[in-house]
Amino acid sequence: MVLRHILVALLLVGTLFLSGCPVAPDHGAIILRLHDTCCDEISGKGGLVIAFDSRDGEKEGWLTHFRSYAGSPQWRSDGERILYQCDGDVMLMDSDGGNKTTVLDGSGAVSVHFSQDEKSIFYLVSENSSTYEIRSINVDGTDDKGGIVTGVAVSPFDVAPATGRILYGRSTSIPDPVYTGVQKIVYQVFSAAPDGSGEVELCGEHADAVSIGDVSPDGQLAVLFVERQMPPDEPQVNLPYRWAMVVARVDGTGEPVIIIGGMQQGSDGWAQWPRIIADGTRLVYVEGNMLVTVTPQGGDRKEILLSDGSGPSNAWFDPEDQGRIWFAAQSLFALGFTQYASGSASITLDGTDLRREPVGLSHRDLYQPGF
């Protein structure tokens, strides 16, 4: 019980500056990531900066000041501007870090997202000591609207592509079904129209959802990280629940489909996040030494077996070539990776053409577990 609360606390605290970051870090030749600059040897100060790597591995750099705390970088669809929050301000900058523009100063924003039409920005601010409010403002700094959605948790927070629906979480305290006299904090994920209307709950029978891993490009499906009540015929270990990954419809219809189930507490499940291909027809995730792809319904399972001890994680469909999967590897001797020299690699969906990559898409997960 204590371990579970620690895990949830870490996820939520880590979201304060990192929520939604990065949403779409790969645009052409540039991959965005977050870099922790703690701490300066003289002053002891540090920050969280938005950094980049070129896709060919030849260039890297920082786009924000090393003593600022920035997060939630999101590309505008034309690839020319980046939305982000910095020290609570809602900001825009060019792809090279220049022409920084303050959309809203002193807002206290902890996470930001473009609306579907990119004419406005949704941002998350503290409502009180325990809940947050989703607000919106035009990209030119006009028409700041409050109360789009209130009483939400700091995590998760996302905006679905195509449909523009807002995804967010709420928490409530209920009596623990197992431990007498103990209150259990339950998390649920909801979605609503851009104006906050039409709220629906996505978790179905999974009453405890911590975060959102991915949303399909058509805005119809979301991968959720949930706590699963274990059926009587499955091993209980010491607790009646385990973590699971499920796919739910953003409109709240139907029941979520379990893609990965039975993960024990403390497992590195966020390194296994299922990711959705651009056309929404398949997901990819890591299972042991395999890359696995399945349909959103969990069917048509295909496995790509890597060598023993390869330690793959953070599998992604290449946004420029949907026929390839990128992943990080701890030890892949075929590419010269050892336990002392891990790296990024890619392979085709049919398991051929394994090759080393200079910069991995896994960078987008360095400081956040898929929020």
Quick: pLDDT tens for 205-219. 665 666 788 898 899
Mean residue pLDDT of the chain comes to 78
Question: Which residue pairs, CB below 8 angstroms and at least 24 apart, start in 108-111?
Answer: 109/85, 110/15, 110/16, 110/17, 110/19, 110/71, 110/85, 110/154, 111/15, 111/19, 111/20, 111/21, 111/71, 111/72, 111/85, 111/154, 111/157
pLDDT of residue 224: 87
Residue 46 domain-assigned (yes or no)? no
- Does residue 287 form part of some domain? no
Asked whether 315 and 324 are in contact (CB, 8 A), the reply is no
Q: What is the pLDDT of residue 94?
A: 92
Q: Is the dihedral of CA 140, 142, 146, 149 positive or negative?
A: negative
pLDDT attached to residue 15: 28
Structurally, the chain folds into a number of domains equal to 1
pTM of the model: 0.79
Most confident of 107-116, 318-327, 335-344: 107-116
pLDDT of 93 > 90? The answer is yes
How confident is residue 338, by pLDDT bands cut at 50, 70 and 90?
Answer: confident
pLDDT at res. 27: 58
pLDDT of residue 234: 53
Q: What is the pLDDT, as a whole number, of residue 92?
A: 97
Q: Is residue 292 part of a domain?
A: no
- Dist CA 294 CA 302 (whole Å): 6
Listed in sequence order, the residues at least 6 apart from 141 whose beta carbon sits closer than 8 Å to its beta carbon are: 102, 103, 104
Tell me whether residue 257 is in a domain. yes
Residue 45: per-residue pLDDT: 62
**Contact (Cβ atoms closer than 8 angstroms) between residue 346 and residue 355:** yes
Decide if 112 contacts 83 (C-beta within 8 A). yes
Q: For residue range 40-92, list pLDDT tens digits in order.
A: 555 556 678 888 877 777 778 888 988 889 988 988 988 889 999 999 999 99
**Domain housing 245:** 160-267
Residue predicted with more confidence, 30 or 199: 199
Flag whether 348 is in a domain.
Answer: no
- Residue 343 above 90 pLDDT? no
- Residue 2: inside a domain: no
Residue 313 is assigned to a structural domain of this protein: no
Amino acid at 19: S
What's the average model confidence in pLDDT over 263-286? Answer: 72
Look at residue 5 in the predicted model and tell me its pLDDT: 34
Reported as a single tens digit per residue, the pLDDT across 96-124 is 899 999 999 999 999 999 999 999 999 99
Per-residue pLDDT at 17: 29
CB 61 within 8 A of CB 54: no
Distance between CA atoms of residues 359 and 371, nearest Å: 21
pLDDT band at 275 (very low <50, low <70, confident <90, very high): confident
Is position 218 within any domain? Answer: yes
Residue 358: per-residue pLDDT: 75
